[in-house]
Structure 1
């Protein structure tokens, strides 16, 4: 069954969250919250989220591996949603307030795959950092 655009976005968030080998509760809660509140997920059956996450894990652990799961997700995402997909991946990787080397490599891979202007990706990254800052002291 081909991956829908919604499923592709969710798969990329799942892979982003687990790119450092673990998905934290905070990352999973962030994925749930984004799916629940963002306009791009309007009309999406939110009760499918756990099943879609499991399907993503099966793809990653299947014969095509991580590369196949990413390739399938990217193929399902229309060009006009590539910046949204990148923003979602950045949001999930920054949600726990630290970026591991593996997460940075995953984001770099997405930047290379997407046809999104470098200024746009830099703005997305800066916005995510700004939104996740804590008060000093």
Structure 2
């Protein structure tokens, strides 16, 4: 699949999670488990065939290898996702970034790019990020 072939809304959400996880060149087991768990648990994925997860992630990885791959993925995701799912996409990205309890500079950069691409307001961003901090806090 090339970067100009259409993808589903669910695949666009998977791409968002993959770009955050891959941004620091190390997709950790915790990040991959978080991606899998969210796909199994969240209503936005209830009609998505789980057998398509790995091929979708691989297609995203292939696009990332192209020249300006990250920009291509962000454009593709932005074109496919309806505006009502921008905050959902950002929340998924934050969950993946927080999964291993350490957010790398590259992950922060991708999160900033997502905020910009989706034109998310500061209050929405703060609420999503604060929720992730609360969910991942240890005793």
TM range (shorter): over 0.9
Q: What TM-score, normalized to structure 2?
A: 0.93
Q: What TM-score, normalized to structure 1?
A: 0.94
SS at match of 1:66: helix
Number of the residue aligned with 2:101: 97
Q: Structure 1 residue 75 and structure 2 residue 43: aligned?
A: no
Q: Distance in 2 between matches of 1:63 and 1:112?
A: 21
Which consecutive segments of 4 or more residues in structure 1 shift more than 6 A? none
Q: Distance in 2 between matches of 1:117 and 1:63?
A: 30
Would the aligned equivalents of 2:9 and 2:81 in 1 still touch at CA under 8 Å?
Answer: yes
Q: Distance in 1 between matches of 2:106 and 2:48?
A: 30
Q: Distance in 1 between matches of 2:90 and 2:69?
A: 21
Q: How many residues align?
A: 135
Q: Structure 1 residue 18 and structure 2 residue 33: aligned?
A: no
Gaps of at least 5 residues in structure 1 are: none
Gaps of at least 5 residues in structure 2 are: none
SS at match of 2:138: coil
Q: What is the Cα deviation at residue 20 of structure 1?
A: 1.2
Q: What is the Cα deviation at residue 42 of structure 1?
A: 1.2
